[in-house]
Structure 1
């Protein structure tokens, strides 16, 4: 397939050339990822996806929870959050890998509708720049310690150094992640193993740490407050799916490898994430008396303290800085990439104009830089605790729609749909569940429902989203999922193995070849039109008329 993406903003073939948009990379920003581009093996895709979770924010998050609530509460909170993230991540990862769609496209057909999912695109975009800012702050701390750069310069360096890598998309990202992951793993794990082997007493001090707000025991409120911060990472599944959508077709020959890769790189990311959070608690307790509670949450200080115990002093700071820089690059190219996809999706749907993804790379980086300059690291847990309510409501709503509404109640179409004209503008199933769950959980978080419920705001978000998604589907009898029962093309959408068809047809608007799942029939011509041209059709000239499925 030609990797040049084109779009008509007027809906007429005659003006298509003037409105053509040439992508700077093969990222399939707004559309299904074609089979012709998905040349990687399942394990290469999985390794690339897992390379994107090399961020050091987990160490800060774990340290912050542990120092406040104590080791016992922190470990239970981390485990609770990990279970929720894994369970909700399975259906999302499966749909992304099986049907080669990103999470926004999955969300459209899983309860939100064509325009309704703009809400969740903004939530996901916010996730990417919040965590870009967090990782950039950590890198700036490393550059200050190692090179004596002022923090504000470090923020600029950490922001702009990722741009050249993001420009080249999946091919460059896969090479970067595969080659840097072994180095990162050695630098992260070796100090921990050495400290435990040399001084087993560090484990006892770690397990016995009571925290500033704790009494050494495990209590529900502390666990839930800590889990709420950890659950801010639930939206990470969106970044994992940005890689998983490039999985090859699932066949009988690769079935086991395919499933292993999906589970490992999809929901499985949280296993490593939870481990890093626990290590963050361990390292923070280890260096606490030396650096104090404020600096103990900084990964650069944690690893400096760990390296200092096992190697010559002249090597300590350089290695700690190398670890921080590698980690920041590995995750922030993903944050910048995924954030740009989310912003582009939202902007194109709302305006009918596609400006190119690189515009939104810069927009996302601008938001992240502003947060860094505002010293977001100083109030990290407050930001993440608030954000987690929105993220939980979104992910649980979509996961419930897939697991319950599609497979159990049969009210939601089993096969995901994302194309304009096939979906209603807004589906109350997802929108109502998301708005109610996130709204009430945020109210609980800010004590509006009383002090007793405040720690339970993540539970409010998850329970309401899980309950309201099927209830709303039942109340509406699933009428607002599909605007049409068929897309007007006789060629089957799936092949004999149930994978998206690889048959190629030409879009009559932009005159480019696209695979079958990316096309619908045109309303006014005896031809087909691609999903991007449908998205940028401002007058609706090509959009098929409504024809709801039979009850």
Structure 2
């Protein structure tokens, strides 16, 4: 696997030393911009393996267990399946756009109904997703360290936070190696005990399927399914983390199209297949250990795998293996959470302030939020946090997916080619912003019983349906005129080559004097030159930003 060092990502006012330091600090960053072809040297399968390594989190086991213990196995399995279908369908167009055009979900969101500043809303939603799940995984690791090594929880929280920092600094190159080498060990430790339990004691399957839950009667009912699905759908924003890897896919060609599509589907929306399986395993293991440990700790993955390992190997091996599984899983996902969160925060901050502070600042900010949640014992009210958060996440993802699938391809009111550069987009596009705000606002009100107890379980459905209906309606009402502020970026060469891939031709940026590939630049307003997307973002007076195009 070959890589090259990316261009330096700071702007004119900084000294050369400052630019060099920022480039070193954020080596494989491309925080606010298109990922160039010169850097994307990985094969499709390496990118896919790296992306899938990021879903090794243990939270799925806790989420599945919590739903299953409350509502029973039948309701839990149907809820998991419903959520998985929604996540797969909405994730597919987003994954395709990220891999095909080599941009992250924030850049996709900008040109898919939200506008240049409108997508700051969703960047904050995504950043919140990363630190909520970092805190969840860190809590699970701390539970493992307490059980295995006797560390107090507060110290375990701190250890789980600090240990990821060195790995996150170097971005994709370090993360790809970590994920590829640890995935086989993780899969073996996760699957082996499950296979052993089922083959050695088939009665565990019957007990699992018959479990009725603490508030259920053993049957499947709509309210319980929707409440469970709402919790599972909090993971819908995981597609953003998958795209943070998929944007490094190589160009799609005739020679690699089969492996390219396989990688995009498998590591894009396909992540939810493994996620749903882990949630179902979480229900199974929680039911298996319930009689031994009780309902309070049965959702803890360390307890689940300790109980499973206990049945198949000598006692002296049980805790070390259970702790190893939890630690490996936590590292694999939390380097991704810290990395993706830093990208989201940096995106938002740079657009609002027009100052680029470097990604590492926001690695620390994201970890600070996560540590505060852990110390507040978020694990004890996990499902409440996820149920509330899922309404915002569903509204956002469904809005963007609908804009791509319906507004771009069916109604043809949204431009097919994604746009993210300042000056090319309107500040706010009412299509996505109105749909997102209305869908999330109404569904959150439903979640908190503002519209009555009967409708409360339907809040995730409301978020999805309102976003799906309002997004094309707003495009029709506005006639699509708020998508592009300009259709011409002042550069004669097309953005795409003859194969439909982003052009690899390079031009020098007039401001930072670095070479960038064609999709990452626009013509300068005041000079006969080109300006890169980051320098446009940090242009405080707008000297370089092209004016609105005359109608």
Which TM-score bucket, shorter chain as reference? over 0.9
Residue in structure 2 matched with residue 133 of structure 1 by the alignment: 135
Q: Tell me the alpha carbon deviations over residues 498-538 of structure 1, each in whole angstroms, 9 at most, x when there is no partner.
A: 00000000001000000000000000000000000000000
Residues 396 and 462 in structure 1, CA contact (< 8 A), matched pair in contact too: yes
Q: Tell me the alpha carbon deviations over residues 291-338 of structure 1, each in whole angstroms, 9 at most, x when there is no partner.
A: 000110000000000000000000000000000000000000000000
Residue in structure 2 matched with residue 212 of structure 1 by the alignment: 214
Residue in structure 2 matched with residue 5 of structure 1 by the alignment: 8
Cα 1:533–1:66 shift into 2, 3 Å: same
Q: TM-score normalized by structure 1?
A: 0.98
Residue in structure 2 matched with residue 118 of structure 1 by the alignment: 120
Deviant stretches of 4+, over 4 Å: 13-19
Q: Is 1:313 matched up with 2:312?
A: no
Match of 1:58 among 57, 60, 73: 60
Residue in structure 1 matched with residue 387 of structure 2 by the alignment: 385
Q: Tell me the alpha carbon deviations over residues 400-444 of structure 1, each in whole angstroms, 9 at most, x when there is no partner.
A: 000000000000000000000000000000000000000000000
Residue in structure 1 matched with residue 72 of structure 2 by the alignment: 70
Q: Tell me the alpha carbon deviations over residues 452-510 of structure 1, each in whole angstroms, 9 at most, x when there is no partner.
A: 11000000000000000000000000000000011000111100000000000000100
Residues 34 and 103 in structure 2, CA contact (< 8 A), matched pair in contact too: yes
Residue in structure 1 matched with residue 508 of structure 2 by the alignment: 506
Q: Is 1:478 matched up with 2:480?
A: yes
SS of the aligned residue for 2:543 comes to: coil
Q: Which runs of 5+ in 1 are unaligned?
A: none
Q: Tell me the alpha carbon deviations over residues 110-146 of structure 1, each in whole angstroms, 9 at most, x when there is no partner.
A: 0000000000000000000000000000000000000
Residues 7 and 16 in structure 1, CA contact (< 8 A), matched pair in contact too: no
Residues 7 and 515 in structure 2, CA contact (< 8 A), matched pair in contact too: no
Bigger mean CA deviation after superposition, 183-192 or 18-27? 18-27
Equivalent pairs counted in the alignment come to 545
How is 1:368-517 mapped onto 2 (pairs within 5 angstroms)?
A: 368-517=370-519
Residue in structure 2 matched with residue 151 of structure 1 by the alignment: 153
CA distance in structure 2 between the aligned counterparts of 1:183 and 1:334, rounded to whole angstroms: 18
> Aligned-pair distance for 1:356?
0.2
Residue in structure 1 matched with residue 539 of structure 2 by the alignment: 537
SS of the aligned residue for 2:426 comes to: coil
Residue in structure 1 matched with residue 274 of structure 2 by the alignment: 272
> Aligned-pair distance for 1:7?
3.0
> Aligned-pair distance for 1:4?
3.8
SS of the aligned residue for 2:542 comes to: coil
CA distance in structure 1 between the aligned counterparts of 2:68 and 2:74, rounded to whole angstroms: 8
CA distance in structure 2 between the aligned counterparts of 1:392 and 1:69, rounded to whole angstroms: 22
Residues 5 and 28 in structure 2, CA contact (< 8 A), matched pair in contact too: no
> Aligned-pair distance for 1:15?
6.4
Residues 508 and 516 in structure 2, CA contact (< 8 A), matched pair in contact too: yes
Residue in structure 2 matched with residue 200 of structure 1 by the alignment: 202
CA distance in structure 1 between the aligned counterparts of 2:77 and 2:5, rounded to whole angstroms: 49
CA distance in structure 1 between the aligned counterparts of 2:402 and 2:499, rounded to whole angstroms: 26
CA distance in structure 2 between the aligned counterparts of 1:325 and 1:425, rounded to whole angstroms: 43
SS of the aligned residue for 2:507 comes to: strand
Residues 107 and 420 in structure 2, CA contact (< 8 A), matched pair in contact too: yes
Residues 81 and 276 in structure 2, CA contact (< 8 A), matched pair in contact too: yes
SS of the aligned residue for 2:107 comes to: helix
Residues 134 and 338 in structure 2, CA contact (< 8 A), matched pair in contact too: yes
> Aligned-pair distance for 1:14?
7.0
> Aligned-pair distance for 1:16?
6.7
> Aligned-pair distance for 1:361?
0.2
SS of the aligned residue for 1:529 comes to: strand
Q: Tell me the alpha carbon deviations over residues 14-49 of structure 1, each in whole angstroms, 9 at most, x when there is no partner.
A: 767587443521221110000000000000000000
Residue in structure 2 matched with residue 81 of structure 1 by the alignment: 83
Residue in structure 2 matched with residue 243 of structure 1 by the alignment: 245
Cα 1:186–1:2 shift into 2, 3 Å: closer
Report the aligned-residue RMSD: 1.1
CA distance in structure 1 between the aligned counterparts of 2:37 and 2:453, rounded to whole angstroms: 52
Cα 1:144–1:169 shift into 2, 3 Å: same
Cα 1:357–1:66 shift into 2, 3 Å: same
CA distance in structure 2 between the aligned counterparts of 1:244 and 1:23, rounded to whole angstroms: 23
Q: TM-score normalized by structure 2?
A: 0.98
Q: Which runs of 5+ in 2 are unaligned?
A: none
Residues 2 and 513 in structure 1, CA contact (< 8 A), matched pair in contact too: no
> Aligned-pair distance for 1:242?
0.2
